[in-house]
Amino acid sequence: MQRRTFIHHTLAASAALLGGSQAMPAMAQAPWPTGKAITYVVPFPPGGNTDTLARVIAQPLSQALGTPVVIDNKGGAGGSIGSALAARAPADGYTILGGTISSHAINVSLYAKLDYDPVKSFSPVAMLGSGPLVLVVPAASPYKTLDDVLAASKAKAAAGGLSSASPGTGTSPHMALELLAYQSGVKFTHVPYKGSGPAVQDVIGGQVDMMFDTTLIVGPHIQSGKLRPIAVTSSRRLESLPDVPTIAEAGQKGFDMGSWQAVFAPAGTPKAIVDRLHAEIMKIVATPEVQARLKSFGMIPSTMTPAELGAYQKAEVAKWAQVIKAAGIKAD
């Protein structure tokens, strides 16, 4: 009996030695999370949609994981600065990033140099939702349909077409305009502002012909009668604007765009961690409180898996590369 026990222990010790580097790290590896804080990088200043959504997600995520989740705002260059910082962080589950259509689909074609690859530098975790945009004109505008807008802009082609405001070059409202121009073959004059606030005021005042923006921005002015909705950029009509057609319904077949918000982790983050983060974030997104909050932002909540988010993001990168190249846009 003693001899059998001795042989058993000797074989076990030999197996551990032979396993070498494979066995020891597995024994030493600590479970995740360990209580160390998770940094949720927001690549935009406080107060915007990405920051607000991060704060909606962070508290319940902290409770679910039993570890602090700390928001770190690193704004600049349309989300590129914060995204680059997150891309260089250790892939250990203690850094996540609030990525958007700008930072993870548009910027790679917009900027001559980007310090990260929007696809290769990250592991997709969770799509939070997508916010369709609304094309609006001033209440006193003669344009009532998308055909009216296109015809009027075509008639003014020599002068650059109708003017369209946006909160800045490369923003989703600007890209919606360029996608419409690309698909319709009609020219428009882009008028960039420093934010949606001054842009929408000049559209209301008639200084600019039209603009695209989210229902969060233009919704109150539609309700007050100061702006007239022409069409929405999503593939389906919005619950809040059931009588407003989609751009696809209005004649531009295949037009589909939303200003999406998602969560990413540095590339190489272990699949088990990505899957756990995805599961916990999706539970949070599915709660009535967060569903209502997302809809109040004009967003449609998502149920995409990490793999579906990855495939969707690649398609978005390709789509916006075509549009940006055709328009000759550069942000540098």
- The 10s digit of each residue's pLDDT in 271-297 is 999 999 999 999 999 999 999 989 888
Q: Report percent pLDDT > 70 for the chain.
A: 91
The confidence band for 8, taking pLDDT boundaries of 50, 70 and 90, is very low
Judge contact between 147 and 292, C-beta under 8 A. Answer: no
Q: Report percent pLDDT > 90 for the chain.
A: 80
According to the model, what pLDDT value does residue 306 have? 98
Distances in Å between the Cα of 77 and the Cα atoms of 44, 115, 197, 204, 267 are 9, 11, 19, 28, 21
According to the model, what pLDDT value does residue 223 have? 96
Domains and CATH numbers, the chain: 38-130+260-327 (3.40.190.150), 134-250 (3.40.190.10)
According to the model, what pLDDT value does residue 30 have? 61
Instruction: Encode burial over 143-172: b for 16+ CB neighbours within 10 A, e otherwise.
Output: beebeebbebbeebeeeebbbbbbbbebbb
According to the model, what pLDDT value does residue 163 have? 98
- The 10s digit of each residue's pLDDT in 28-66 is 456 899 989 999 999 998 888 899 999 999 999 999 999
DSSP three-state, residue 317: helix
Judge contact between 131 and 297, C-beta under 8 A. Answer: yes
Given a cut of 70, is residue 25 above it in pLDDT?
A: no
The confidence band for 72, taking pLDDT boundaries of 50, 70 and 90, is very high
Given a cut of 60, is residue 6 above it in pLDDT?
A: no
According to the model, what pLDDT value does residue 330 have? 85
According to the model, what pLDDT value does residue 47 have? 84
Cα–Cα distance between 29 and 143 in angstroms, integer?
64
According to the model, what pLDDT value does residue 332 have? 63
- The 10s digit of each residue's pLDDT in 215-229 is 989 999 999 999 999
Nearest to 151 by CA among 191, 109, 189, 187: 187
Judge contact between 139 and 118, C-beta under 8 A. Answer: no
DSSP three-state, residue 28: helix
- The 10s digit of each residue's pLDDT in 226-263 is 999 999 999 999 988 999 999 999 999 999 999 999 99
According to the model, what pLDDT value does residue 15 have? 39
The confidence band for 115, taking pLDDT boundaries of 50, 70 and 90, is very high
